[in-house]
Amino acid sequence: MRYAPLLLVALAWEAAPRLGLVRADTLPPLSVVAHAWVGLLVSGDLVSQGLSSLENLVAGLALGIVVGVALGILMAWYRPVEVLVNPLVRVLYPLPRSALIPVMILWLGLGAASKIASVFLGCLLPVVLSAYNGARGVDQVLVWSALAAGASRRRVLWEVVLPAAMPEILAGVRNALALSFILLVAAEFVTGQRGLGYLISFLGEGGVYDAMFAGVITVSAVGFFADRLYLMLMGWMLRWRE
């Protein structure tokens, strides 16, 4: 089976602390962590913090996708928009996205707004770029034949450019998805108020390491499955391609 090595890792994780190869307080055995995970679930902490994280993530990501795709395509299609927005993109591109977190906190405080804003701004750029490239890369022949058939520029945009740019846009959104998780967790570490990132720090500082590990695994698993789900969605949306 393809994922068999994971079983090996799981076995090692269980065995090593029990055999005394590593200290059990720095690496609790897998079963202990699993037990703590159930504990978090039952107590409701996992769900409530998890939902808080998810809300902010989805809000920021959705905003980023909608605004990003719109901006990117408009930039590719209407020259004045490009001239206006291009310098902004160029300046912000080399900036590490998480550097914006402190600014957001400065402006919006330690609550949900700054986290959503951090995710939004961080994901915006990759989506804008992929939408822009996707729209620009559209086969000119498709565009010309649609225009020649009498379609208005606006219709061509919706019915020709957008679908043709889809593969590239979807690839950019995949990056944005991964980025959104990173930014959210980072923001939660820094703001330290609510969410899974906060839960992990809190448990870590309190010395409840088995639950902390459970939290980390949860976050990683959610990130992984989100990516997998997205790939399936992407495959379905692009099923007309070979």
Partner 1 sequence: MARMKALRDGLLRWVSILALLAAWEMVARAHVFTEFLLPSFSAVMTRLADDVISGELLPGIGLTLYRALAGFAFAAGAGVTIGILIARLPLARWFFDPLVSIGLPMPKIAFLQIFVLWFGVFDSTKILMAAFSAVFPVIVSSAAAAEGVERVMLWSALSLGAGRRHLLWEIALPAALPQIFTGLQVALPIALIVEIVSEMATGGGGIGDAINMQMRFADSPGVFSGIVAIAIVGSILVKAMELIRRRLLVWHPEAAR
DSSP class of residue 98 equals: G
Which amino acid appears at position 204 of this protein? G
- Cα(166)–Cα(69) distance, rounded to whole angstroms? 10
Choices 35-43, 97-105, 127-135, 146-154; region in contact with partner 1 by CB under 8 A? 97-105
* Residue 186 binding partner 1, by CB under 8 A: yes
* Residue 212 binding partner 1, by CB under 8 A: yes
CA-nearest of 166, 187, 227 to 104 is 187
CA-nearest of 125, 99, 98, 103 to 114 is 103
What part of residues 6-35 is at the interface with partner 1 (CB under 8 A)?
6, 8-9, 26
* Residue 3 binding partner 1, by CB under 8 A: yes
* Residue 4 binding partner 1, by CB under 8 A: yes
Query: Which contacts of 35-43 are long-range, i.e. CB under 8 A and separated by 24 or more positions?
Result: 35/210, 36/208, 36/210, 36/211, 36/213, 36/214, 37/211, 37/214, 37/217, 37/218, 39/211, 40/211, 40/214, 40/215
**Shortest Cβ 242–partner 1 spacing (Å):** 21
Measured from the CB atom, the residue of 68 and 197 that comes closer to partner 1 is 197
One residue of 29, 97, 146, 165 binding partner 1 per CB under 8 A: 97
20 by DSSP, 3-state: which? coil
Measured from the CB atom, the residue of 47 and 155 that comes closer to partner 1 is 47
One residue of 69, 162, 173, 190 binding partner 1 per CB under 8 A: 190
Half-sphere exposure of 138 (CA within 13 A, CB side): 26
One residue of 62, 178, 208, 234 binding partner 1 per CB under 8 A: 178
**Shortest Cβ 220–partner 1 spacing (Å):** 4
Q: Which residues bind partner 1 (CB under 8 A)?
A: 2-6, 8-9, 26, 83, 86-88, 90-91, 94-103, 105-107, 178, 181-182, 184-186, 189-190, 196-197, 200-201, 203-204, 209, 212-213, 216, 219-220, 223-224, 226-228
